[in-house]
Amino acid sequence: MIRSRPTPHFVLLPRFFLGLALITPLAAAVDFVHEVVPILKQHCAECHADSKQKGGLSFNTEESFRKGSKNGPIIDAEHPEKSLLLKLIASDDEDERMPPKGKGLDAKEIEIVRAWVLGGAKWEPGFAFKKPAYEPPLRPRDPALPMAVGERSNPLDRITDHYLAEKKSPGPAPLDDVAFLRRVHLDLVGLLPDVEELHRFLADAAADKRARVVDGLLANKTAYAEHWLSFWNDLLRNDYAGTGYIDGGRKQISGWLYQALRDNMPYDQFVRELVAPSPATEGFANGIKWRGSISAAQIPPMQYAQSVGQAFLGINLKCASCHDSFVDRWKLSESYGLAAIFSDVPLEIFRCDKPTGKTAVPGWLFPELGSVDASLPRAERLKQLAALITDPQNGRTPRTITNRLWQRLMGRGIVHPVDAMQSAPWSEDLLDYLGTHLAANHHDLKQTLRLICLSQAYQSKTESLAGQPQESSYVYQGPRPKRLTAEELTDAIWQICGTAPAKFDAPVSRDAGGEGAAAKPPMVRAALLQCDLLMRTLGRPNREQIVTTRPLDLTTLEAMDLNNGAILDGRLAEGAQALVARKFASPAALATYVWQAALSRDPTAEELQAAVGLLGEPPQAAATQDLLWGVLMLPEFQIIR
């Protein structure tokens, strides 16, 4: 149980923060495409889809749906139960009910739409009643760079500055040193800057000091690997425990992955080793052998097609695993073609779980780049596929990964969501430049990260989300604020208090890199541990599915309110004891340390006074725990700005 805490008065949570917690959907998930879409098609499409937009309302795309009718949005984001959409479908008034003719929706249909709206009216990314005509280019392209504005010569700035000028936007303001140091540490190695480094950095007057920080962080192999491990574990659905690991239905790739990150393996080689696997990497390709009866869409070769398509090409083959996709151009036969490359045996095509009598022909998604020879043995076919995915003429692979890295650092993809690589980017030049730059730099992902971190675009203040309520009509205005991930928050507590565990779960060799045997081993990181309830609540996924974006709409604050607050409480109690044992010279010194370590700044006079009052003299563990709690609750701590 969380005991109720005195709320120190410096904890002033802005309203938006509480608001976010309240709108987090708790309603049971409704399958939008299979439950809601059929209802809209049957009862509404006649007047609100395709070329029809009665009342100015079109359900064609997520964008048009969110825009609403001539009177504005039909979903009330703050009070979904008051949405016009729900009012109209359930209305008894013949003059206002939708649909206006016929008998209208029955009670069950109304319930489904209602549950969907209360759950946030989530749209399947990329789904449209009328399929979009956009087809992204496949080949790489080296865009001509616009003139630099003043000193802003980083290629990414040349592109974004030009974009902003076209949009007549002033662009974001520059980021100060403290915010930069905190952000770049969290983004590149997932840790807070320590207090000494902060002081050194602030005192440094050299013009290249930010570049030196970026290079130093990227050179820290262990910290880099242990931070990005979470990103890759999510993307490759790798974990240390969970479904299938005990009964042999699943295999880890942790040892290989960890070493590949430490060694900064070139990305093309990395992809080839996963697509045409060895015993060390086959855990990814083999997927999960589910127990019991499974749908034809879940057999291991189909999982392979789905995983390879999604992870490396940003292609959604899940929606083309039972029928031709309704989201984009991929066909059932194409998913089976990719699956058949992997399959040991001829694969019969099933449509919606019913056999079709047709056998899949091994084939790959972009025949314009070459093909896979179906007559070759499996291992050879997989090698051919790996070569096609990493072919220099295949611009899709570098675009997909650099878009993911841009999203991680900047808070939103150039193509968004990041798995919908079939859809249009907000800047083709930026996307194409990043892809070409990666290929030109030996597929070294650290070079991409470096390029982004050194841009003024990255070194800018985050935009205020208030200016962009509609996700679907996005205009780039600078980086977006991000929430600390489950691992970052856990590591931060251990870092501040010095209470990281000594043991970890991941079967990896931490000292294989030889960064000096004499050096003190670095802190054990949350990424190396099995998931606990706290991390789960904070958004660390269970990794049975590929996850490419951690949830943004779940606030830490809410997580702490849930009944697993005990883990956090225990961790803070332990942390408080460790801090008390350090015997700071005074309560003010302890408070100042906590502020500097957690927030990279000194407390204000008012904060210091409140903290000292709370701590008492000498500070006891319980009061110190309350102080930690108060500071960790601050949005300033939890949000990377």
- Taking CB under 6 A as the criterion, the residue among 321, 455, 460, 477 binding ligand HEC is 321
37 makes contact with ligand HEC (CB under 6 A): yes
85 makes contact with ligand HEC (CB under 6 A): yes
Six token digits for residue 24: 């987090």
* For ligand HEC, the closer CB: 9 or 130: 130
Rounded to a whole number of angstroms, the minimum distance from the CB of residue 22 to ligand HEC is: 24
Residue 151's nearest CA partner among 126, 174, 123 is: 174
- Taking CB under 6 A as the criterion, the residue among 7, 71, 393, 473 binding ligand HEC is 71
Rounded to a whole number of angstroms, the minimum distance from the CB of residue 74 to ligand HEC is: 4
The helix/strand/coil state of 349 is strand
Size, binding site for ligand HEC by CB under 6 A? 37
Rounded to a whole number of angstroms, the minimum distance from the CB of residue 86 to ligand HEC is: 9
Span near ligand HEC by CB under 6 A; candidates 214-222, 314-322, 413-421, 630-638: 314-322
Rounded to a whole number of angstroms, the minimum distance from the CB of residue 56 to ligand HEC is: 7
Rounded to a whole number of angstroms, the minimum distance from the CB of residue 303 to ligand HEC is: 12
Residue 397 and residue 369: Cα distance in Å, rounded?
Answer: 13
Span near ligand HEC by CB under 6 A; candidates 41-49, 381-389, 409-417, 569-577: 41-49
547 makes contact with ligand HEC (CB under 6 A): no
Length of the chain in terms of residues written: 641
Q: 3-state SS string over 79-119?
A: CHHHCHHHHHHHCCCCCCCCCCCCCCCCHHHHHHHHHHHHC
- Taking CB under 6 A as the criterion, the residue among 9, 12, 16, 34 binding ligand HEC is 34
- Taking CB under 6 A as the criterion, the residue among 130, 291, 323, 583 binding ligand HEC is 323
The pairs formed by 71-79 with CB atoms below 8 angstroms and a separation of 24 or more are 75/117, 75/121, 77/23, 77/469, 78/19, 78/23
74 makes contact with ligand HEC (CB under 6 A): yes
Site string for ligand HEC, 172-191 (x = CB under 6 A): --------------------
Q: Which residues contact 153 (CB under 8 A, 6 or more apart)?
A: none
> 106 to 125, contacts with ligand HEC by CB under 6 A?
124
Rounded to a whole number of angstroms, the minimum distance from the CB of residue 69 to ligand HEC is: 3
48 makes contact with ligand HEC (CB under 6 A): yes
Q: What is the DSSP letter of 393?
A: T
127 makes contact with ligand HEC (CB under 6 A): yes
Cα Rg, the chain, nearest whole Å = 26
Residue 525 and residue 625: Cα distance in Å, rounded?
Answer: 22
Six token digits for residue 101: 């003719």
- Taking CB under 6 A as the criterion, the residue among 198, 218, 305, 322 binding ligand HEC is 322
In the block, tokens 């010279």 appear at 585
Q: Which residues contact 631 (CB under 8 A, 6 or more apart)?
A: 594, 595, 598, 599, 637
295 makes contact with ligand HEC (CB under 6 A): yes
Span near ligand HEC by CB under 6 A; candidates 83-91, 478-486, 493-501, 533-541: 83-91
> 130 to 159, contacts with ligand HEC by CB under 6 A?
none
Span near ligand HEC by CB under 6 A; candidates 67-75, 242-250, 340-348, 548-556: 67-75
89 makes contact with ligand HEC (CB under 6 A): yes
Rounded to a whole number of angstroms, the minimum distance from the CB of residue 233 to ligand HEC is: 23
Six token digits for residue 511: 């000292």
Residue 426 and residue 415: Cα distance in Å, rounded?
Answer: 7
- Taking CB under 6 A as the criterion, the residue among 7, 19, 29, 38 binding ligand HEC is 38
326 makes contact with ligand HEC (CB under 6 A): yes
* For ligand HEC, the closer CB: 33 or 589: 33
Q: Which residues contact 486 (CB under 8 A, 6 or more apart)?
A: 526, 534, 535, 536, 537, 538, 539, 540, 550
Residue 12 and residue 6: Cα distance in Å, rounded?
Answer: 13
Rounded to a whole number of angstroms, the minimum distance from the CB of residue 467 to ligand HEC is: 25
Phi-psi region of 175 (alpha: psi -120 to 50; beta: other; left: phi over 0): beta
101 makes contact with ligand HEC (CB under 6 A): yes
Span near ligand HEC by CB under 6 A; candidates 50-58, 149-157, 412-420, 577-585: 50-58
Rounded to a whole number of angstroms, the minimum distance from the CB of residue 75 to ligand HEC is: 9
Distance of CA 153 to the CA centre of its chain: 29
318 makes contact with ligand HEC (CB under 6 A): yes
41 makes contact with ligand HEC (CB under 6 A): yes
Q: Which residues contact 444 (CB under 8 A, 6 or more apart)?
A: 264, 266, 267, 438
Span near ligand HEC by CB under 6 A; candidates 152-160, 313-321, 534-542, 598-606: 313-321
* For ligand HEC, the closer CB: 6 or 100: 100
Q: Give the relative orientation of helices 565-581 and 587-599 as an angle to the nearest 10 degrees.
A: 130
Rounded to a whole number of angstroms, the minimum distance from the CB of residue 316 to ligand HEC is: 7
Is the distance from CB of 229 to CB of 526 less than 8 angstroms? no
Site string for ligand HEC, 351-380 (x = CB under 6 A): -x----------------------------
631 makes contact with ligand HEC (CB under 6 A): no
Which CA distances in Å does 147 have to 34, 36, 144, 156, 581?
Answer: 49, 48, 10, 11, 58
Six token digits for residue 77: 């984001």
Rounded to a whole number of angstroms, the minimum distance from the CB of residue 321 to ligand HEC is: 5
Is the distance from CB of 298 to CB of 317 less than 8 angstroms? no
Q: 3-state SS string over 257-306?
A: HHHHHHCCCCHHHHHHHHHCCCCCCHHHHHCCCCCCCCCHHHCHHHHHHH
531 makes contact with ligand HEC (CB under 6 A): no
Which residues of the shown chain bind ligand HEC in the complex (CB under 6 A)? 33-34, 37-38, 41, 43-44, 46-48, 54-55, 57, 69, 71, 74, 84-85, 88-89, 98-101, 105, 124, 127, 295, 297, 318-319, 321-323, 326-327, 352
